[in-house]
């Protein structure tokens, strides 16, 4: 079966009444991913792959007038 280790860290910053910023970073590590192996016509499913993902996200929000809230 698949195994996953995942971590995420984030921060939200309120600079002004109308401006916010959010920053987050993540890391994921999969082991034993299900994959299709073999050649035609002898295909089989096997937990044979590994995968690592990492990244970051930045979100900025600005509301120029109160009616947009």
pTM: 0.66
The backbone region for 41, taken as left when phi is positive above 0, alpha when psi lies in -120 to 50, beta otherwise, is alpha
pLDDT tens, 23-49? 999 999 999 888 888 888 888 988 888
Residue whose token pair is 């994959």: 35
**Does the pLDDT value for residue 67 go beyond 80?**
no
């Amino acid at each position: 079966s698949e195994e996953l280790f995942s971590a995420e860290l984030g921060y939200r910053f309120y600079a002004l009444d109308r401006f916010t910023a959010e920053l987050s970073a993540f890391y994921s590590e999969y082991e034993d991913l299900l994959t299709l192996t073999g050649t035609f016509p002898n295909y089989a499913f096997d937990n044979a792959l590994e995968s690592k993902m990492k990244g970051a996200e930045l979100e900025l929000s600005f509301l120029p007038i109160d009616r947009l809230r």
